[in-house]
Amino acid sequence: MAAMTTGNTSRADANRRRILDVALAELLRDPDASMDQIARAAGVVRRTVYGHFPSREALVGTLVDEAVAALAEADAGARDGVADPAEAVARSVLALWPIADRYRLLIALAQRTVTVQGIRERLAPLRETQVRLLRDGLEQGVFSSPLPAPALGFVHEQMLFAVMEAVNDGLLAAEEAGRSATVAVLSAAGVPVTLATELVAEVSART
């Protein structure tokens, strides 16, 4: 068993992958889920999980790393070469949405400082790019708000949560949610709702 770390047997890899996926789902349901809960849910014994991850911390950490990577990639790709800040935000949110929903766990964890130290740090670069974008928009007058750009960054983030919760509670259709979230973010940034709606329709149609 000690060699489980070295080799690349397909069986072990598949298990590792499934453990990660199930762990994500389980932690989403209960952020304090125990290793035993996770293992059982993955159809595996607790001991096996420790064969793949040395500690609970490591397991969650891996999950966080994957999430951050996916988010950063989606964000960067979405607004590549887009000049207008409003459109850039729209594209970014639309692209981020499906991933953010899947990984909302890590943001929830990031808000509760306790769990894994360093989530905020790992998430910081992504946040930085959002803030830069918001600042551009404010300076160009595309956005308008009495809040400084970094504060708007938090607003941006929390807006996604708000819409996620709404979807969770069945108040919003899942297919509509991405566009709704985008409009919500834009209008929080001071873009008139009519403009925001138009923009979102246009952008999401062109995909």
Partner DNA sequence: GTGCAATTGCACAACACTGTGCAATGTACG
Partner DNA sequence: CGTACATTGCACAGTGTTGTGCAATTGCAC
Among its own copies, DNA, none, residue 172 binds (CB under 5-8 Å by kind) = its own copies
Among its own copies, DNA, none, residue 25 binds (CB under 5-8 Å by kind) = none
Beta carbon of residue 63, minimum distance to its own copies (angstroms, whole number) = 17
Beta carbon of residue 168, minimum distance to DNA (angstroms, whole number) = 24
Q: Which is nearer to DNA, 37 or 145 (CB)?
A: 37
Among DNA, its own copies, none, residue 44 binds (CB under 5-8 Å by kind) = DNA
Among its own copies, DNA, none, residue 166 binds (CB under 5-8 Å by kind) = its own copies
CA separation for the pair 145, 122 (Å, rounded): 28
Among its own copies, DNA, none, residue 120 binds (CB under 5-8 Å by kind) = none
- Restricting to residues 156-185, name those near its own copies by CB under 8 A: 157-159, 161-163, 165-166, 169, 171-172, 179-180, 183-184
- Restricting to residues 81-120, name those near its own copies by CB under 8 A: 108, 111-114
| Sequence-separated (6 or more) residues with CB below 8 Å from residue 35 | 46, 49, 50, 56, 59
CA separation for the pair 128, 134 (Å, rounded): 10
Phi, psi of 97, rounded to the nearest 5 degrees: -50, -55
**In terms of Cα–Cα distance, which of 197, 11, 180, 32 is closest to 101?**
180
119 within 8 A of 61, measured Cβ to Cβ: no
CA separation for the pair 89, 164 (Å, rounded): 18
CA separation for the pair 40, 43 (Å, rounded): 5
Other beta carbons within 10 Å of 45: 12
42 within 8 A of 23, measured Cβ to Cβ: yes
Beta carbon of residue 159, minimum distance to its own copies (angstroms, whole number) = 7
Q: Which is nearer to DNA, 4 or 76 (CB)?
A: 4
SS3 147: coil
Interaction mask 36-75, its own copies, x per CB under 8 A: ----------------------------------------
Contact residues toward its own copies (CB under 8 A) are: 29-32, 108, 111-114, 144-148, 150-151, 154-155, 157-159, 161-163, 165-166, 169, 171-172, 179-180, 183-184, 187-188, 190, 192-193, 197
